[in-house]
A and B are shown apart, each in its own frame.
Chain A
């Protein structure tokens, strides 16, 4: 029988301090107060004084409440029974289903040995041309979706959850608006994808410490499923809320803040979550897509900035479209060489021309006379935006590539595209060549 401590010496925010012995760093405890029980974990020890963060928050905890240490770190149940279920950040069911307590596994486990990793090689097709053609998503990749509040990022995530070619989805919601949580639930239920999905959801009204647990819970479960051979896609929304929760705890703990109040280990903390993305040789894989809202549309804000250095590229969501500039999938080179021979060249060529279009557009808006070349670019830009960038376009990669050639042929002569001659010979739409000859 473990000892129960009934004297809490200080309560500051969500952090309480008790005098206890025989406790280990990171251990879990149960705090029993008038409002019910809550879990807490050890975050600092100094002599016999032990500081814990209370998952359900410090509010209502009294100095006379009981603290019982469990002698192990945070755990989550793992089995097939998790599928189709919805949990809170501390693993309590949200969907009125039974609590799961069998086969408990620890969260936040050690990282994968780099020598055991393999080179990513499989594309995850999504049916969204701006992803499949221009920035392919690759199994075991970690990618954030940088976005401003108000952009349809949750809609995009839901669409990816429905369409992505994976075995299962784990959705981790942090600081989610209740409406958004219901939106995800309903969309996936209607689309029949619920049975391959697990939710760990912290809504904006829930205690802040639970927000910190969501990524670890989601990823610990994902890791086990991946080891059993499943291709898992983890969707996290929104990582900025996660970072803000970390900031809140760090300030309560009187840590020296480094940049705009965030703790100095923000990078390492984010990295230890994102780096869980992996492709296990001979087993499954974890792929992570995480929404990161940029406060004030500022990519240099510490959260998107640190994220960008960790992840393998990023998608920018702006004006309801995935922006071709700035958006980058670093791993696309691994897969787009095998998809179709024109994939790479077409991708680069179209982006370069789109960049030129933007310049012409700027000139036009300043009232300059448009040259013939500018007019061609303007036409191209319009076609590109409507037939490629629009998020409602839902076509396979091959269809999208063909559509790309068509857009080019509608706007330019072959040598204006800057593409290599062999490719133009084999892919330039045949009817255009005939038209040209008959002229």
Chain B
């Protein structure tokens, strides 16, 4: 497309005003020329000849009259083999390569190719000359880590195409011409292993979207048992600062049973990304025995990096997730934090002098958040395989108040809500997900009647706890007091989990089921405990043994010894079952 140029006429923070005579489209990319440098920017408003562009870089040094080159293309990402293990900024610049070029600091105006151009991939074709293909169909595969990466017909090619040429098996680089296809009008298209796709458009080259049903195993007890998330589902983690949002996401990214994890660190602390960056290559993925990095992509636009690129980063991440979903894989996208992304929108909206909505967020906040989460989903591909994108986003509400616009807009569209509570994190109860206020619409790994019973104990225990604050321990009956202790016990040994303990950090489904049955035995039991101090002592001792038990290797000698000890301790005091336990005994 012919290049269109304009001139800078105004600058305000990271927004510049440009005048141009040519044709422009909304969201197209332009480059501002400052000396030797070219700064990337995106058109966000057009009024007659005057354009407003948000600049993805620091604007210092731009002058009135500087030239702007408008490219005519929307903001896109490169899709192809070589995305896994990469660490990108919000605009898909590989950060390690950038560091090699520029040293410690991020220099503006340097854009590198996202996919390594020199790597050769071992291509195996899956079509022959004469085959008919359409967008999203595989032309062949290359091995990428443990996956067969599909080389697909670009998603933008609508209609049917006939394969005219296809490369024979062998090693090729990403930009080699791999196939030539001819459309219905006889026009030929040259295809390589990579293509570009605009980040703000969802990829829809699949047969149909389905309802998420299968649980995504996170190995976090409170999540898998009480507040499950399904593959292809969405969930959000709102919480005040210091409640452990990021730690929870880090733990999930390590242990979740999915094929690929994409981490979008959006406007958050650089230090936290670094932990992931440095730790993951060393960690071993229990499913494959290889480095955890081989299943990970990190998109990192930390808080001190330019604001406009922050908005782009979540879209970049979700586009990469959708791309891998087309290969029949399960992808988990963790966005931390969506509030920063919303704030980036607010900053731009303010500079555009739009009429502000609640807390000065733009009026379109809700629809933008909804359309982002709607890009998650379980799909059936045209090949009959299934693929999914699960999105988990943290929300950082101002003042920890969930009534604010970003939390509320998010709660409308997600399938599970893991609300973190300041109270629990202050008491060092991790993960600090509030068990009673949070909810999930997905199904648990454990029978729902059993979960309901346990939740009921928690609920009643909490009530007794509240009441005891008023009437004191002496005004509470021993039965109520036992419920209180049971709820406390459940919280201590099941809901709380020590993410720094090598064993307790990740608990398999098998072990969760096993543990939950022992627990139910305690929760539903009638105990021979006469006084409150006896009861407290009994539960303190039981809790102590359970904590040691949680830290022991599954089915090891230690595990069996501790289990025996616990069962003896329970049976010593237990004299039967409570009457209200019928609900789960029927199952």
- Residues on A lying within 8 angstroms of B by beta carbon are 21-27, 44-48, 73, 108-120, 140-141, 227, 255-259, 263-265, 267-268, 271-272, 274-276, 280, 299-302, 305-306, 308-310, 312-314, 325-326, 328, 330-331, 333, 337, 344, 348, 351-352, 355, 362-363, 366, 368-369, 371-373, 415-416, 418, 420-421
- Contact partner of A264 (CB less than 8 A), chosen from B279, B343, B428, is B343
Residues of the B chain whose Cβ atoms lie less than 8 Å from the Cβ of A259: 359-360, 398
Q: Convert B43-65 into 0s and 1s, putting 1 for each residue whose CB lies closer than 8 angstroms to a CB of A.
A: 00000000000000011111110
Q: Are A368 and B399 in touch, CB under 8 angstroms?
A: no
Which residue of chain A is the closest to B544 with respect to CB atoms? A415
B12 within 8 A of A: yes
Residues of the A chain whose Cβ atoms lie less than 8 Å from the Cβ of B349: 264
Which residues between 318 and 371 of chain B lie within 8 Å of chain A, taking CB atoms?
A: 337, 340, 343, 346-347, 349-350, 353, 356, 359-360
Residues of the B chain whose Cβ atoms lie less than 8 Å from the Cβ of A227: 104
Residues of the B chain whose Cβ atoms lie less than 8 Å from the Cβ of A119: 274-275, 278-279
Q: Are B242 and A313 in touch, CB under 8 angstroms?
A: yes
Q: Are A418 and B544 in touch, CB under 8 angstroms?
A: yes
Q: Are A308 and B242 in touch, CB under 8 angstroms?
A: yes
Q: Which of the candidate stretches B68-76, B300-308, B381-389, B572-580 sits at the interface with the other chain?
A: B300-308
Q: How far is the CA of A118 from the CA of B278 in the complex (A)?
A: 8
B400 within 8 A of A: yes
CB distance from A321 to the nearest CB of B (A): 16
Residues of the A chain whose Cβ atoms lie less than 8 Å from the Cβ of B502: none
B474 within 8 A of A: yes
Residues of the B chain whose Cβ atoms lie less than 8 Å from the Cβ of A120: 271
Q: Are A348 and B401 in touch, CB under 8 angstroms?
A: no
Query: When A and B form their complex, which 9 residue pairs have the shortest distance between CB atoms, in order from nearest?
Result: A300-B399, A275-B304, A271-B303, A368-B472, A258-B360, A308-B241, A115-B95, A26-B60, A111-B304
A-B contacts, 8 of them at CB < 8 A, read A26-B61, A113-B99, A227-B104, A274-B304, A276-B304, A300-B400, A314-B241, A369-B472
B11 within 8 A of A: yes
Residues of the A chain whose Cβ atoms lie less than 8 Å from the Cβ of B24: none
Q: Are A25 and B59 in touch, CB under 8 angstroms?
A: yes
Q: How far is the CA of A115 from the CA of B298 in the complex (A)?
A: 11
B108 within 8 A of A: yes
Q: Are A258 and B350 in touch, CB under 8 angstroms?
A: yes
- Contact partner of B95 (CB less than 8 A), chosen from A113, A140, A141, is A113
Q: Are B428 and A352 in touch, CB under 8 angstroms?
A: yes
Among A113, A272, A276, A300: residue with most chain B CB under 10 A: A113
Among B104, B305, B360: residue with most chain A CB under 10 A: B104
Q: Are A373 and B360 in touch, CB under 8 angstroms?
A: no
Which residue of chain B is the closest to A115 with respect to CB atoms? B95
Q: Which of the candidate stretches B113-121, B183-191, B285-293, B533-541 sits at the interface with the other chain?
A: B533-541
Among B303, B346, B401, B473: residue with most chain A CB under 10 A: B303
Which residues between 1 and 40 of chain B lie within 8 Å of chain A, taking CB atoms?
A: 9-13, 17
Q: Are A114 and B273 in touch, CB under 8 angstroms?
A: yes
Q: How far is the CA of A299 from the CA of B278 in the complex (A)?
A: 33
CB distance from B249 to the nearest CB of A (A): 14
Residues of the A chain whose Cβ atoms lie less than 8 Å from the Cβ of B58: 110
- Residues on B lying within 8 angstroms of A by beta carbon are 9-13, 17, 58-64, 87, 95-96, 98-99, 102-108, 240-242, 267, 269-271, 273-275, 277-279, 300, 302-305, 307, 337, 340, 343, 346-347, 349-350, 353, 356, 359-360, 396, 398-401, 426-428, 469, 472-474, 500, 532-533, 536, 540-541, 543-544, 547-548, 551
Q: Are B12 and A44 in touch, CB under 8 angstroms?
A: yes
Among A73, A111, A314: residue with most chain B CB under 10 A: A111
- Contact partner of B61 (CB less than 8 A), chosen from A24, A109, A263, is A24
Say whether, besides A259-B359, A275-B270, A415-B541, A371 and B60 are in contact (CB < 8 Å).
Answer: no
Residues of the A chain whose Cβ atoms lie less than 8 Å from the Cβ of B95: 113-115
Q: Are B103 and A116 in touch, CB under 8 angstroms?
A: yes
Q: Are A272 and B304 in touch, CB under 8 angstroms?
A: yes
Known contacts A264-B350, A418-B547; 12 additional CB pairs below 8 A are: A110-B105, A110-B107, A113-B98, A114-B95, A114-B277, A115-B99, A267-B340, A268-B303, A274-B304, A300-B400, A344-B500, A371-B533
Q: How far is the CA of A411 from the CA of B64 in the complex (A)?
A: 72
Q: How far is the CA of A115 from the CA of B300 in the complex (A)?
A: 10
Q: Are B13 and A265 in touch, CB under 8 angstroms?
A: yes
Say whether, besides A46-B10, A112-B105, A275-B303, A25 and B63 are in contact (CB < 8 Å).
Answer: yes
- Contact partner of A23 (CB less than 8 A), chosen from B64, B96, B102, B108, is B64
Say whether, besides A117-B270, A369-B474, A373-B536, A265 and B547 are in contact (CB < 8 Å).
Answer: no
Q: How far is the CA of A77 from the CA of B541 in the complex (A)?
A: 64
Residues of the B chain whose Cβ atoms lie less than 8 Å from the Cβ of A348: 428
Q: Are A355 and B11 in touch, CB under 8 angstroms?
A: no
Residues of the B chain whose Cβ atoms lie less than 8 Å from the Cβ of A333: 500
- Contact partner of B96 (CB less than 8 A), chosen from A115, A280, A344, A371, is A115
Q: How far is the CA of A312 from the CA of B271 in the complex (A)?
A: 8
Q: Are A264 and B304 in touch, CB under 8 angstroms?
A: no
Q: Are B536 and A112 in touch, CB under 8 angstroms?
A: no
Q: How far is the CA of A373 from the CA of B472 in the complex (A)?
A: 13
Q: Are B302 and A26 in touch, CB under 8 angstroms?
A: no
Which residue of chain A is the closest to B404 with respect to CB atoms? A259
Which residue of chain A is the closest to B303 with respect to CB atoms? A271
Q: Are A331 and B11 in touch, CB under 8 angstroms?
A: no
Q: Are A373 and B533 in touch, CB under 8 angstroms?
A: yes
Residues of the B chain whose Cβ atoms lie less than 8 Å from the Cβ of A110: 58, 105-108
Which residue of chain B is the closest to A418 with respect to CB atoms? B544
Q: How far is the CA of A364 from the CA of B567 in the complex (A)?
A: 37
CB distance from A40 to the nearest CB of B (A): 15
Which residue of chain B is the closest to A298 with respect to CB atoms? B399
Q: How far is the CA of A109 from the CA of B103 in the complex (A)?
A: 14
Q: How far is the CA of A275 from the CA of B61 in the complex (A)?
A: 22
Which residue of chain B is the closest to A273 with respect to CB atoms? B304
- Contact partner of A44 (CB less than 8 A), chosen from B11, B427, B472, B547, is B11
Q: How far is the CA of A416 from the CA of B271 in the complex (A)?
A: 37
Residues of the A chain whose Cβ atoms lie less than 8 Å from the Cβ of B107: 110
Among B271, B346, B469, B551: residue with most chain A CB under 10 A: B271
Residues of the B chain whose Cβ atoms lie less than 8 Å from the Cβ of A258: 346, 350, 356, 359-360
Q: Are B271 and A22 in touch, CB under 8 angstroms?
A: no
Residues of the A chain whose Cβ atoms lie less than 8 Å from the Cβ of B547: 418, 420
Q: How far is the CA of A258 from the CA of B274 in the complex (A)?
A: 31
Residues of the A chain whose Cβ atoms lie less than 8 Å from the Cβ of B11: 25, 44-45
CB distance from A216 to the nearest CB of B (A): 12
Which residue of chain B is the closest to A226 with respect to CB atoms? B104
Which residue of chain A is the closest to B305 with respect to CB atoms? A111
Residues of the B chain whose Cβ atoms lie less than 8 Å from the Cβ of A115: 87, 95-96, 98-99, 277
Say whether, besides A24-B62, A111-B106, A119-B278, A312 and B269 are in contact (CB < 8 Å).
Answer: yes
Residues of the A chain whose Cβ atoms lie less than 8 Å from the Cβ of B103: 113, 116
- Contact partner of A271 (CB less than 8 A), chosen from B87, B304, B337, B401, is B304
Residues of the B chain whose Cβ atoms lie less than 8 Å from the Cβ of A118: 274, 278
Q: Are A116 and B278 in touch, CB under 8 angstroms?
A: no
Q: How far is the CA of A195 from the CA of B95 in the complex (A)?
A: 39
Q: Are A113 and B64 in touch, CB under 8 angstroms?
A: no
Q: How far is the CA of A300 from the CA of B404 in the complex (A)?
A: 12
Residues of the A chain whose Cβ atoms lie less than 8 Å from the Cβ of B350: 255-256, 258, 263-265
Residues of the B chain whose Cβ atoms lie less than 8 Å from the Cβ of A352: 427-428
Q: Are B396 and A309 in touch, CB under 8 angstroms?
A: yes
Say whether, besides A116-B99, A140-B271, A265-B13, A300 and B401 are in contact (CB < 8 Å).
Answer: yes
Q: How far is the CA of A144 from the CA of B279 in the complex (A)?
A: 27
Residues of the B chain whose Cβ atoms lie less than 8 Å from the Cβ of A373: 533, 536
Which residue of chain B is the closest to A371 with respect to CB atoms? B473
